[in-house]
Amino acid sequence: MSDQPHILVVDDHRDIRDLLGRYLRQHEYRVSLASDGRELRKMMADDVSPDLIVLDLMMPGEDGLSLCRWLRENYDVPVVMLTALGEETDRIIGLEMGADDYLAKPFNPRELLARIKAVLRRAQSLPVGRKGPLPGGEVHFDRWILDRTRHELRDANDVVLPLSAGEYGLLCAFVEHPNMVLNRDQLLDLTRGREAVPFDRSIDNQVSRLRKKIETDVKNPTLIKTVWGGGYMFTCEVVEK
């Protein structure tokens, strides 16, 4: 039983919760159910530790977007978002909040199962990460200080270097996996950029912009090195304070 992936379904509609619970259990998943954001927060605080969360977007009280943002800030767990809204804008907003995939209601449970399997495969291909709350505090590397509580980067003179949300997320991925080769797909997952298509070059562009800000010599980078045919490696000692 313990080897079965654990799925947490969060939906205010009891019929949908129960249907998904039965269906996923039939396919050999462990399942927990929550009716709203309050129950989700309590379960996470009680260390339920799901392998994936199926999260409804439109719920009374705290909605799925707010909950997804909270999950991204505090936990390293994949999220598949459900919504009755089929607009492209809603899909993009959900992905920008950190959802790994998106499925509009009404949906076929078989399609949801396929998406859950795909997201779990991607998550399992990533370097070992954290299952609990991501720590805040400061990370020191080279001449830089990354403050994960304030979401800012400072130099040795305490001057703040502006970073875009994408650059900040990419830097966090690097400092949390130092001296490890990360390919583009892994970096897309670690930065929650799954709306990008597989041949998207946005990671390369963000690496280039990040290098311009943190490298002493952009033409000869020493912090973020390119591994030909592999991806990128953050070759710097990282010290957590």
Spell out the residues 6+ positions from residue 72 whose beta carbon is closer than 8 angstroms to its own: 79, 97, 98, 192
Amino acid code (one letter) for 155? D
Q: What would the pLDDT profile of 74-126 be if each residue is shown by its tens digit?
A: 888 889 988 876 555 555 666 666 778 888 888 899 999 999 998 888 777 66
Fold matches, 6-125 and 138-240: no
> Tokens in use for 4?
């079965």
Neighbour-count burial of 26, counting CB atoms closer than 10 A to its CB (0-12 exposed, 13-18 middle, 19+ buried):
exposed
Q: Which H, E and C letters describe 199-231, residue by residue?
A: CCCHHHHHHHHHHHHHCCCCCCCCCEEEECCCE
Give the residue from 210, 227, 226, 223 showing the smallest Cα distance to 141: 223
pLDDT band, very low/low/confident/very high, at 41 (cuts 50, 70, 90): very high
Q: What confidence tens digit (pLDDT) does each residue in 140-169 have?
A: 999 999 998 888 999 989 999 998 888 888
> Is it the case that residue 196 has pLDDT exceeding 90?
no
Q: How confident is the model at residue 213 (pLDDT cuts 50, 70, 90)?
A: very high
CATH for the 138-240 domain, from 1.10.10.10, 3.30.70.660, 3.40.50.10860, 1.10.760.10: 1.10.10.10
Domain ranges of the chain: 6-125, 138-240
What does residue 87 show for φ and ψ, rounded to 5 degrees? -70, 145
> Helix or strand or coil: residue 12?
coil
**Whole-prediction pTM value?**
0.58
In CATH, which superfamily holds the domain spanning 6-125?
Response regulator (3.40.50.2300)
pLDDT of residue 223: 95
Q: Integer distance in angstroms from the first to the last C-alpha of the chain? A: 38
Residue pointed to by tokens 């269906």: 23
CA distance 146 to 155: 9
Residue located via tokens 């339920």? 48
